[in-house]
């Protein structure tokens, strides 16, 4: 019933060696049986179900422990997998998830991203240069106005044009009208330019609405879906990514997810590498949006570099995905960002695109020129 195959989660622990080791032993219990260990007799539960310390070592500022779990306790569900990785212990300070090592037998039931880097490049017909990504805003514009912006962005050479993540189904720009107008606008621009820009609506919504909105978007000709997985649940993103009747690339937005990373330097939460890299991939994102270093958020250059690493570390059949740094990005930052990310990146420009001048098409062309020579 239990195969003996295990997956490994590496945690960083704070405290003295004694405290950290006690914490490691506690994780083995808390994340599995949550039951007095001394009451477990010999047998399957004690031998297989309990977490197992595989290694324990000192680091510069704490301890690193690798704990293995039987793959069967995940029930091969993303929700229960995440519960084993960081369920109850998310509530305990001084424990940080560092990385995941998942054997093929655990990865097998997960499809991961449908497109990944290679698929998205093919879809957008962009060989080598970084991809360009912008958001339609500000909230409060009508669907017609947003459609006009989408047209200008596509005309200006932007590859991926998404709803701002706060656009859902507000009275001033209802979902269906917005999707119809924006898809039509991008299609019109594509005919004029001969390029393949896509419009990506935000389908983050109520549980009972998400499938319907996604399907509506697909039928209207949208080229992808934007999801904020901390609002919908990470598994909802996985579901959308795996849905063969949609077959659309999925873009993950970090809204409401920040608490997992704001205290990583105090030894809490989930490391950027694991959250934006490994977990987002497992949850089906083809590109993962997060705030770039040096912007109005607080991610460091090293943290951003670790995200890029997490998007491409080998994970069995799970495809590599694009890091998509945004959040206060400006044209001036492109060269520095190329240094950190190379060309395997989706540059997300938000408000910065509008600051450049009043002619949005010209702003987009300027943005595009910055990467065109990298093809």
Shortest spacing between CB 211 and a second copy, in angstroms: 9
Phi, psi torsion values for 54, nearest 5 degrees: -95, -30
Site for a second copy in 39-68 (CB under 8 A): 39-40, 44-45, 48-49
Which of the residues 23, 99, 218, 253 is marked catalytic? 253
Three-state SS string across the chain, please?
Answer: CCCCCEEEEEEEECCCHHHHHHHHHHHHHHCCCCCCHHHCCCCHHHHHHCCEEEEEEECCCCEEEEEEEEHHHHCCCHHHHHHHHHCHHHHCCCEEEEEEECCHHHHCCCCCCCCHHHHHHHHHCCCCCCEEEEEECCECECHHHHHHHHHHHHHCCCCEEEECCCCCCCCCCCHHHHHHHHHHHHHHHHHHHCCCCEEECECCCCHHHHHHHHHHHHHHCCCCEEECHHHHCHHHHHHHHHCCCCCCCEEECCCCCHHHCCCHHHCCEECHHHHHHHHHHHCCCCEEEEECCCCCCCCCHHHHHHHHHHHHCCECECCCCEEEEECCCCHHHHHHHHHHHCCCCEEEECCHHHHCCCCHHHHHHHHHHHHHCCC
Shortest spacing between CB 351 and a second copy, in angstroms: 5
Site for a second copy in 287-346 (CB under 8 A): 290-291, 296-298, 327
Q: Is 253 a catalytic residue?
A: yes
Q: Binding of a second copy at residue 184 (CB under 8 A)? A: no
Burial 316-346 (b: 16+ CB within 10 A, else e): eebbbbbbbbbbbbbbebbeebbebbeebbb
Q: Binding of a second copy at residue 107 (CB under 8 A)? A: no
Out of 41, 60, 91, 332, the only residue in the binding site for a second copy (CB under 8 A) is 91
Out of 15, 87, 119, 221, the only residue in the binding site for a second copy (CB under 8 A) is 87
Q: Is 137 a catalytic residue?
A: yes
Out of 78, 120, 146, 337, the only residue in the binding site for a second copy (CB under 8 A) is 78
Q: Binding of a second copy at residue 98 (CB under 8 A)? A: no
Shortest spacing between CB 93 and a second copy, in angstroms: 5
Shortest spacing between CB 28 and a second copy, in angstroms: 12
Which residue's CB is nearer to a second copy, number 103 or number 258?
Answer: 258
Out of 10, 152, 197, 204, the only residue in the binding site for a second copy (CB under 8 A) is 204
Which residue's CB is nearer to a second copy, number 90 or number 312?
Answer: 90
Which of the residues 23, 99, 137, 162 is marked catalytic? 137
Out of 14, 68, 83, 312, the only residue in the binding site for a second copy (CB under 8 A) is 83
Site for a second copy in 247-276 (CB under 8 A): 254-263, 266, 268-270
Which residue's CB is nearer to a second copy, number 117 or number 276?
Answer: 276
d(C-alpha 198, C-alpha 133), whole Å:
10
Site for a second copy in 152-171 (CB under 8 A): 164-166, 168-171
Which residue's CB is nearer to a second copy, number 158 or number 234?
Answer: 234
Q: Give Cα 251 to chain centroid, integer Å.
A: 7
Out of 24, 141, 161, 186, the only residue in the binding site for a second copy (CB under 8 A) is 141
Contact map string, positions 4 to 23, toward a second copy, x by CB under 8 A: --------------------
Site for a second copy in 110-139 (CB under 8 A): 135, 137-139
Rg, the chain, Cα only:
22
Out of 235, 305, 340, 365, the only residue in the binding site for a second copy (CB under 8 A) is 235
Out of 66, 82, 120, 143, the only residue in the binding site for a second copy (CB under 8 A) is 82
Residues with active-site annotation: 137, 253
């Amino acid at each position: 019933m239990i195969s003996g195959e295990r997956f490994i989660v590496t945690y960083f622990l704070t405290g003295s060696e004694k405290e950290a080791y006690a914490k490691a032993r506690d994780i083995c219990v808390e994340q599995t049986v949550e039951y007095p260990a001394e009451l477990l007799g010999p047998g399957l539960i004690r031998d297989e179900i309990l977490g197992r310390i595989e290694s324990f070592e000192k680091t510069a500022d704490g301890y690193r422990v690798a704990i293995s779990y039987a793959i069967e306790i995940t029930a091969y569900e993303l929700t229960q997998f995440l519960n084993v990785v960081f369920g109850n212990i998310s509530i305990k300070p001084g424990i940080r998830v560092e990385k995941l090592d998942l054997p093929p037998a655990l990865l097998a039931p997960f499809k991961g991203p449908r497109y990944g880097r290679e698929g998205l490049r093919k879809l957008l017909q962009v060989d080598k240069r970084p991809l360009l990504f912008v958001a339609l805003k500000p909230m409060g514009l009508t669907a017609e106005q947003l459609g006009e912006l989408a047209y200008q962005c596509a005309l200006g050479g932007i590859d991926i044009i998404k709803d701002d993540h706060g656009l859902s189904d507000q009275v001033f720009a209802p979902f269906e009208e917005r999707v119809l107008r924006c898809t039509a606008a991008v299609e019109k621009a594509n005919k004029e330019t001969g390029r393949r820009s896509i419009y990506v609506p935000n389908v983050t919504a109520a549980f009972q609405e998400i499938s319907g909105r996604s399907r509506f978007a697909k039928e209207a000709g949208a080229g992808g879906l934007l999801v904020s997985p901390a609002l919908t649940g990470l598994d909802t993103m996985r579901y959308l990514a795996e849905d063969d009747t949609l077959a659309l690339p999925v873009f993950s937005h970090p809204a409401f997810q920040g608490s997992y990373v704001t205290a990583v330097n105090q030894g809490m939460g989930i490391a950027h590498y694991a959250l934006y890299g490994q977990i987002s991939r497992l949850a089906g994102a083809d590109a993962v949006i997060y705030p770039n270093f040096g912007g109005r958020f607080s991610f460091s250059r090293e943290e951003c570099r670790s995200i890029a690493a997490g998007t491409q570390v080998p994970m069995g059949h799970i495809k590599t995905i694009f890091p998509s740094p945004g959040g206060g990005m400006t044209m001036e930052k492109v060269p520095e960002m190329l240094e950190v990310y190379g060309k395997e990146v989706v540059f997300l420009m938000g408000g910065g695109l509008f600051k450049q001048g009043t002619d949005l098409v010209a702003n987009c062309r300027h943005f595009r020129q910055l990467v065109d020579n990298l093809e």
